[in-house]
């Protein structure tokens, strides 16, 4: 059971104030009847909700695509730094949101923020082979040896072995930009993999998770609600 105003906010329909106004104006119908009390409590899964004549497809969980900017940390709360949750617009905020995986403070690009733990586990577990793609700008040129090392599975100085990874040189980059594909998310993984090969990453951006690509119309620091299709597309064309 949840309050009507909170349900509208949780579905990204409106901010708290706007949701209350919509309800009081009689713009929100529950099972065909206008409900004018924002505090009205009910089970949204079992009801038809209409807002300004438009049916609302209630989703229990929320999935947000964020184009993460550099300078914010992939955490829920932090005493020193701004977090990816802090930069979400008010209408997307709800209890239990967390980033599904971590990008370093200086890494940009695709980060999914959700309140669905099962989903997060599914896309993050290396066992599920969901590929994550990054564009890495480097201080030195990539050569065939680096590509081979990635293919064979890089071993870090502490003996940790990475799963085989793909590395492609991005054309017209003087061999200094690579497209890296990995299926796991070890701490600073891409930077450490290049570092083993004597190369520093000067800029890192994640562009995809599975077959879901960062929306090119999403400015850095902005986010959008993901559609059902976006979520499903993660698993399309998954390579094992
Ligand atoms: N690998 C890294 O080194 N950093 C990230 O943020 C993501 C992958």
DSSP letter for 149, please: H
Return the residue whose CA atom lies nearest to atom 3 of ligand 1: 188
Report yes or no on 109 lying in a domain. Answer: yes
pLDDT beneath 70, residues of the chain = 237-240
Report yes or no on 239 lying in a domain. Answer: no
**What distance in angstroms lies between residue 53's CA and the mean position of ligand 1's atoms?**
45
Give CA separation, 176 vs 137, 142, 167, 195, 199, in Å. Answer: 6, 6, 12, 14, 10
For ligand 1, say whether the CB of 104 is within 6 Å of any of its atoms: yes
**What distance in angstroms lies between residue 236's CA and the mean position of ligand 1's atoms?**
23
State whether 220 and 112 are in the same domain: yes
For residue range 41-99, what is the model confidence (pLDDT) as tens digits? Answer: 999 988 999 999 999 988 889 999 999 999 999 999 999 999 999 999 987 887 799 99
For ligand 1, say whether the CB of 191 is within 6 Å of any of its atoms: yes
Q: Name the pTM for this structure.
A: 0.85
State whether 145 and 186 are in the same domain: yes
Return the residue whose CA atom lies nearest to atom 4 of ligand 1: 188
- The total number of structural domains in the chain stands at 3
pLDDT of residue 239: 43
Structural domain for 25, as ranges: 2-56
Question: Where in the sequence numbering do the catalytic residues fall?
Answer: 104
pLDDT of residue 94: 78
Report yes or no on 158 lying in a domain. Answer: yes
pLDDT of residue 93: 80
101: left (phi over 0), alpha (psi -120 to 50) or beta: left
pLDDT of residue 238: 56
* CB-CB contact of 101 with 123 (8 Å): yes
Identify which of 4, 88, 86 has the alpha carbon closest to the alpha carbon of residue 51: 4
* CB-CB contact of 184 with 86 (8 Å): no
């Amino acid at each position: 059971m949840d309050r009507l105003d909170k349900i509208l906010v949780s579905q990204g329909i409106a901010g708290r104030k706007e949701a209350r106004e919509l309800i009081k104006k009689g713009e929100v119908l529950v099972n065909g009847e206008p409900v004018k009390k924002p505090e009205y409590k009910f089970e949204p899964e079992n009801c038809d909700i209409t807002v300004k004549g438009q049916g609302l497809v209630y989703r229990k969980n929320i999935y947000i695509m964020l184009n993460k900017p550099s300078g914010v940390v992939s955490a829920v709360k932090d005493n020193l730094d701004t977090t990816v949750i802090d930069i979400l617009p008010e209408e997307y905020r709800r209890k239990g949101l967390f980033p599904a995986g971590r990008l370093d403070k200086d890494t940009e690009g695709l980060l999914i923020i959700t309140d669905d733990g099962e989903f997060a586990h599914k896309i993050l577990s290396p066992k599920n082979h969901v590929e994550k793609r990054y564009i890495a700008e480097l201080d030195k040129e990539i050569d065939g040896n680096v590509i081979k090392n990635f293919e064979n599975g890089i071993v870090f100085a502490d003996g940790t072995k990475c799963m085989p990874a793909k590395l492609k040189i991005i054309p017209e980059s003087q061999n200094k930009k690579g497209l890296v594909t990995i299926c796991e998310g070890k701490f600073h993984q891409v930077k450490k993999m290049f570092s083993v090969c004597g190369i520093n990453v000067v800029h890192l951006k994640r562009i995809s998770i599975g077959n879901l690509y960062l929306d090119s119309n999403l400015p850095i620091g902005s986010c959008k609600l993901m559609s059902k299709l976006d979520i499903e597309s993660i698993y399309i064309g998954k390579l094992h």
